[in-house]
Amino acid sequence: MNLDEYLNQRLRLIDEALENLLPDAPDQPGRLREAMRYGVFSGGKRIRPILTLAAAAAVGGNINDALPAACAIELIHAFSLIHDDLPCMDDDDLRRGKPTSHKVFGEATALLAADGLFALAFDTLAHAPESVPDGAVLEAVRILAGATGPAGMVGGQVLDLEAEGKDVTVADVERIHRGKTGALIEAAALIGGIIGGGDKAQIETLGRYGRAIGLAFQIVDDLLESVGDEEKLGKSAQSDLKRRKATYPAVAGVEESARAAERHCQQAAQELSSFEESAEPLRRIARLIVEREV
């Protein structure tokens, strides 16, 4: 398979579906629609929803059935970025080289646009095609809500804030990562498997795969941030270091971080050994996560 072609094709599919969910029609009040679109269409690589589609395909499912769930994952991701960037949180002015939402729309509208994306995510997930059993959709709702809430992303964010400026261990950083980034990436794989009609063992395997690449992803993020250049990242490089954020390179060093990312990536690939050719995209995505430059 040609990975670039595959990723581009999936990205177009997802962007088209997101465009249908958030059309550029001024039927919604004021600037809310515009702010929601700004948060969603800002040059993301759609790695999480691509994972959902790839996991659905890996268990023999129809990717069109999984498309609303894939969009729901991306909407949750977009919501979390807007809240993360707010002045009371990371206070970032730039994201992917563009002004952050609150810089463009003001804090109140940015806050509410993110809340709107949060609600739209569950609305979208619950509007799965009729070919997907209600029980599978409901299980996906439970997983997405769990991955977003106090035991997942929100919990990780709080740990992250509380760790700022403190001495932390590798175990602390991994706990933060698992919540902040890992939970949603794991959910993306799990939900794909569930909506795709995978059996219990397959879904558990996808969960372990998702957990492993989730950890690899955040370590690579930290690495890119600590050594990366501003232009590629589209935000101030080393801003984490300046704020004494709990990052993997800060506690384990750059070399050990690179090794850890590689280990997680290899573990993810091993998890997929029971899958045939249909899991090839998942294997390639695992490698991509460690080798990416942005």
Q: Which residues pair with 98 in a beta bridge?
A: 95
Our CB check for a copy of itself shows the closer of 167 and 231 to be 167
Q: Supply the minimum distance, in Å, between the C-beta of residue 117 and a copy of itself.
A: 8
Q: Supply the minimum distance, in Å, between the C-beta of residue 131 and a copy of itself.
A: 14
Our CB check for a copy of itself shows the closer of 161 and 224 to be 161
CA distance 55 to 50: 9
Our CB check for a copy of itself shows the closer of 142 and 259 to be 142
- The pair phi, psi for residue 42, each rounded to 5°, is -135, 35
Our CB check for a copy of itself shows the closer of 144 and 233 to be 144
Q: Supply the minimum distance, in Å, between the C-beta of residue 79 and a copy of itself.
A: 8
Applying CB under 8 A, which residues contact a copy of itself?
28-33, 36, 83, 86, 88-89, 106-109, 111-112, 115-116, 118-123, 125-127, 133-135, 137-138, 141-142, 144-146, 148-152, 154-159, 161-162, 179
Taking only Cα atoms into account, the Rg of the chain, rounded to an integer number of angstroms, comes to 18
Which residues make Cβ contacts (< 8 Å) with residue 192, sequence separation at least 6? 51, 52, 53, 54, 55, 56, 57, 58, 59, 61, 66, 69, 70, 206
Contact status, residue 78 vs residue 153, Cβ threshold 8 Å: no
Our CB check for a copy of itself shows the closer of 92 and 271 to be 92
Q: Supply the minimum distance, in Å, between the C-beta of residue 170 and a copy of itself.
A: 17
Q: Supply the minimum distance, in Å, between the C-beta of residue 147 and a copy of itself.
A: 8
What are the helix (H) ranges across 149-279?
A: 153-163, 170-177, 183-195, 200-227, 230-233, 239-242, 248-252, 254-271
Q: Supply the minimum distance, in Å, between the C-beta of residue 176 and a copy of itself.
A: 9
Q: Supply the minimum distance, in Å, between the C-beta of residue 292 and a copy of itself.
A: 28
**Would you tell me the crossing angle of helices 153-163 and 170-177 to the nearest 10 degrees?**
140
One DSSP character per residue, 142-181 reads HHHHHHHSTTTHHHHHHHHHHHTTS---HHHHHHHHIIII
Our CB check for a copy of itself shows the closer of 35 and 265 to be 35
Our CB check for a copy of itself shows the closer of 158 and 258 to be 158
Q: Supply the minimum distance, in Å, between the C-beta of residue 289 and a copy of itself.
A: 25
**Would you tell me the crossing angle of helices 200-227 and 254-271 to the nearest 10 degrees?**
160
Our CB check for a copy of itself shows the closer of 1 and 25 to be 25
Reference 101, options 174, 187, 148, 41; nearest CA is 41
Q: What angle do CA 3, 78, 28 make, to 5 degrees?
A: 120
CA distance 109 to 119: 15
- The pair phi, psi for residue 17, each rounded to 5°, is -65, -40
